[in-house]
Amino acid sequence: MKIVLATNNPHKLSEMRALFASTSVELLSMSDVGIKKDVIENGKTFTENALIKAEAIAQLTSLPVMADDSGLEVKALGNFPGIYSARFMEGHSYFEKNLEIIRMLQPYEDRSAQFTCVIALCNLTPRPLVFTGIAQGSIDSEPQGSHGFGYDPIFVSSELHQSFGLASEDDKNKVSHRSKAASQVIDYLKLKKLI
């Protein structure tokens, strides 16, 4: 089964391909199917943004299209940066963004946070399908490790008891928000005998 992943982010593509590696799903990039489009994500939630991306690309292909929107939500900061995770401090490195999140948290004792991922799947059923995965954790006092990408070095997973930045790709892929949402997609496709 071929599914187009609506992203221009190579990290996200390789992470998703690893998550679907044990299935018969072949995840295609937008360039694999000749789609060049930047979708404006102007939704107010992860779900809205995932649907905006999936529905926009689904109009350009007859293949099923999967899009995700994800981000870091820090409880004490009112779930900031949330849907703005990628756009927060645009033009700065993630190392700088991570240090800024740590600095913003200094006045607070509560360091709890979560990564949320919403996957939208279009062109498979008359209505889009939506799957949500959440990884619970907390924000470390300093970045740890160089694995993963984005906010991984400051996010300490409640399940792994270490930062995603220190975790191996295999360990992270067992507990990450994206893996939890992806496993729901895989379960659905198996249930419907599509894979």
CA atoms within 13 A on the CB side of 25: 29
145 sits in the region (left: phi over 0; alpha: psi -120 to 50; else beta) called left
| Helix 10-19, helix 177-191: angle, nearest 10 | 50
Residues marked as catalytic: 69
Instruction: Determine how β-strand 2-5 pairs with β-strand 26-28.
Output: parallel
In order of 27, 65, 75, 113, 126, the CA distances from 140 in angstroms are: 33, 35, 14, 10, 43
